Structure 1
């Protein structure tokens, strides 16, 4: 059923507005801020995470235990689909880069810096660094929005996928530094394996030798962040040249996006083969 759910999630994302209807985080974020401001829980970040992350996923797990035996799991299928769609990343990565791409293609660095900060919260001291940061943003957003979620869904089901997204929301919206730090630690653990599998996928669909050189020193490292690793591996696999103003710089973003698409096809092919073998 996992592979069917993954296909349905892609169809829903591409051809319906259900994702926008499901991915409304305002209520959850409001409860997060309320618990952070509570005098009893202000210094207990683990309790806040237990209430807002552990409790929802436990309730989801209990619901699935009840539904799975009924009608050969058909009643659980829509729950799987809805949870997976909710767990995908927020927003459209390519649409968010549209104004930046236009400004960079014109060579207007000031406008590019303005729209990058406004639309995707990316800033830099120089134009070259700005393009590098936007490239890293594209790779990271694609990874955390899609690859990490479908990996954990396929491996452990909707409970793991929902856990990943709720931790990501806690990192993004949390105001208590201690809570954000704890959520980041848990998310780092979630990211360790899938980000390395995606880097290995980059090697298979891109420049294998260049990615191998990057992965050689970082393969088992716990200290490097997922964003740093995916940035290094992606740029190496796509053979991204030094930053350039104009159409050449935009072409580097296109090359990274094509790399991500090829990797997604590889993952889905791998999921299909695994499903057939089982």
Structure 2
């Protein structure tokens, strides 16, 4: 059922990315979650017991636990299976995206093609959240952001969905929302770090298979099992090195590595999906 839910969610993603990006953004809106956080602060904010790690448990773990319990309430049966499948797809579509880098960077690529450096810098800054000193650094920052955004918005969500079910996908997305908003506490940061450390390394293996494996392995020796190296750092190292010989096959131009990063991520995504399919058929998935 996990594979079927992923297929349906990916088809929905494809439809919305090609037709109704505004509607798609609404499907991934985090308004409900931050509304939930405001409700908790208003209700329990002045309570002495509502502090530190317990506060984070309410903010992050409680919604995931409720989703887990909700799915466990359904017994086996055709109607129950249909309902569970629909809920799985809903959670996945909500946790995915909201937009692929190829769509988010359309203005950036157009500016680079038209040699409009100022516009390109502005688009790159919006996408990466960083100020770049020169064009080379800008292109590098965009490449790293492409790898991270595809991983955090799609690959990791799919991985944790397969491992822990819909609750895992939602848990990872909620941690990411808090991290992006600068509200992630000590406990949440540790959980987020652990989830990315594991999922990003699984994805890094698909980049090795999709790209220049020899170069990727050479540049990441001794890093895969190092707890001090974050998932993001490891993924950037492996994915960038895995572009290797393939970058020359991409479109010529200053942003060739950006196009190559998107292409490599697409190939890695196909491999990841194939691995998930095999795991599903072997009964190694949570759902």
Give yes or no for TM over 0.5. yes
Q: Which residue of 2 aligns with 1:26?
A: 31
Matched, 1:113 2:121: yes
Superposition pairs for residues 31-180 of structure 1, below 5 Å? Answer: 31-33=36-38, 35=40, 38-40=45-47, 44-71=51-78, 73-175=81-183, 179-180=184-185
Q: Which residue pairs with 1:217 in the alignment? A: 222
Separation of aligned partners in 2, 1:42 and 1:109: 53
For residue 11 of structure 1, report the CA deviation from its aligned partner: 0.5
For 2:115 and 2:234, how far apart are their aligned partners in 1?
Answer: 29
Q: 1:35 to 1:66 in 2, by over 3 A?
A: closer
Gaps of 5+ in 1: none
Write the deviation string for residues 146-168 of structure 1: whole angstroms up to 9, x where unpaired.
10010111122111111100111
By how many angstroms is 1:106 displaced? 3.5
Residue 4 (structure 1) aligns with = 4
DSSP 3-state at the match of 2:228: coil
Aligned residues: 272
* Kept after mapping to 2: 8 A contact 1:203/1:211: yes
Q: 200, 208, 228: which one pairs with 2:205? A: 200
Runs of 5+ consecutive residues of structure 2 not aligned to the other structure:
none
TM-score when normalising by structure 2: 0.85
Alpha-carbon displacement from aligned partner over 1:154-206 (angstroms, at most 9, x marks no partner): 1221111111001111111244xxx4444332111001122112111111111
Alpha-carbon deviation of 1:73? 2.2
Task: Tell me, in whole angstroms, the C-alpha distance in 1 between the residues paired with 2:55 and 2:109.
Answer: 40
Going from structure 1 to structure 2, the CA distance change for 1:68 and 1:237 (only over 3 Å counts) comes to farther
The TM-score, its normalising length taken from structure 1, stands at 0.87
The answer to whether the 8 A contact 1:105-1:247 is kept is: no
How far 1:70 sits from its partner (Å)?
A: 4.0
Cα distance in 2 for residues equivalent to 1:11 and 1:50: 34
SS at match of 1:220: coil
| 1:217 match: secondary structure | coil
Contact 2:101 2:262 in 1 (8 A): no
- CA–CA distance in structure 2, aligned partners of residues 240 and 232 of structure 1: 15
Cα separation, partners in 2 of 1:73 and 1:42, compared to 1, 3 Å? same
What is the root-mean-square deviation in Å for CA atoms of aligned residues? 2.6
Q: Residues 96, 42 of structure 1: CA spacing in aligned structure 2 closer, same or farther, 3 A cutoff?
A: farther
Find the counterpart in structure 2 of residue 269 from structure 1: 274
Distance 1:241 1:65 in 2: 46
Relative to structure 1, the CA distance from residue 126 to residue 63 in structure 2 (aligned partners, 3 Å threshold; closer, same or farther) is same
